[in-house]
Amino acid sequence: QLVESGGGVVQSGRSLRLSCAGSGFSLSAFGAHWVRQPPGKGLEWVALLSYDGINKYYGDSVKGRFTISRDNSENTLYLQMDSLRAEDTAIYYCAKDLGSGRHDHYGMDVWGQGTTVTVSS
Amino acid sequence: QSVLTQPPSASGTPGQRVTISCSGGSSNIGFNTVNWYQQLPGTAPKLLIYTDNRRPAGVPDRFSGSKSGTSASLAISGLQSEDESDYYCAAWDDSLNGWVFGGGTKLTVL
């Protein structure tokens, strides 16, 4: 399973770092995503990191502000969120990819339960 | 405005067969495979269909996926009350160099 942490209430313009810990399997063998869901709205893909940390992909709305990273020795995925805006308010889910996340794109299979980020103005 | 277009709502009666469509373009559905996710109220999304038409272990065969050109469909046969949920399609987009989701379809079992 995947367990996210690090969410909370933060002022606009500040930073927050989310973590996603994998257990029961080796997250290090797979690509990993962050996906968010604003209150009452649909799913929005945020970022993808390949299993080896080499290939990084970002959604247009977070490019240049968010950074995805991982520590395979700790079986953990991270999302550093800087220059936060009110529109970043959402539940943030981490999800494992079906593949390596490098140049093959199979998508998300295992999802965490989510952590809530609220950006106040 | 989502890159992939889904109807906002669908409905059916128990035992009926319903389909949910997902329309895209050549940069996403036209060249890449489609996944479908089910999200029950207050829970995380769950993978229902991957690579257009494959079911993960544990997903009932009442759920099936298909694709033709730049459109994909999710079919649910023998509709049950517990199928009442939000459903999302997703695909890799070569132009955006990222994943895109449909806006979601809320399925109501009457």
pLDDT digits (tens, 9 = 90+) for A62-89: 999 999 999 999 999 999 999 999 999 9
Q: Please report the pLDDT score of residue A100 as a whole number.
A: 87
State the first-to-last Cα distance of chain B, in angstroms, to the nearest integer. Answer: 28
Q: Is the pLDDT of residue A95 over 90?
A: yes
Q: Please report the pLDDT score of residue A104 as a whole number.
A: 85
**Test the A interface: residue of B27, B99, B105, B106 with most A CBs within 10 Å:** B99
Mean pLDDT, chain A, whole residue set: 96
- For residues B77 and B62, the answer to whether their CB atoms sit within 8 Å is yes
CB within 8 Å: A106 and B102: no
Chain A, residues 41-70, CB within 8 A of chain B, namely 42-45, 48, 57-60
**Test the B interface: residue of A45, A93, A100 with most B CBs within 10 Å:** A45
Structure token digits, residue A53: 């940390």
Ramachandran category for residue B97: left, alpha or beta (phi over 0 → left; psi -120 to 50 → alpha): left
Q: Name the H helices within B21-79.
A: none
Average pLDDT over residues A84-98: 97
pLDDT digits (tens, 9 = 90+) for B65-93: 999 999 999 999 999 999 999 999 999 99
Percent of chain B beyond pLDDT 90? 98
Q: Is the pLDDT of residue B45 over 90?
A: yes
CA distance linking residue A3 with residue A111, whole number of Å: 9
Q: Is the pLDDT of residue A45 over 90?
A: yes
Q: Please report the pLDDT score of residue B1 as a whole number.
A: 82
SS3 A86: helix
Q: Is the pLDDT of residue A31 over 90?
A: yes
CA distance linking residue B14 with residue B99, whole number of Å: 33
The verdict on A3 touching B (C-beta cutoff 8 Å) is no
Strands (E) located in chain B: 9-12, 18-23, 34-39, 46-49, 63-68, 71-76, 85-93, 98-101, 105-109
CA distance linking residue A5 with residue B16, whole number of Å: 41
Q: Please report the pLDDT score of residue A69 as a whole number.
A: 98
| Cβ-based neighbours of B68, under 8 Å, separated by 6 or more | none
**Considering only alpha carbons, which residue of chain B is nearest residue A114?**
B44
pLDDT digits (tens, 9 = 90+) for B11-31: 999 999 999 999 999 999 999
What confidence tier does A101 reach under pLDDT thresholds 50, 70, 90?
confident
Q: Please report the pLDDT score of residue A30 as a whole number.
A: 95
CA distance linking residue B108 with residue B110, whole number of Å: 6
Distances (CA, A) of B31 to A15, A40, A48, B36, B56: 37, 31, 19, 16, 22
Q: Is the pLDDT of residue A103 over 90?
A: no
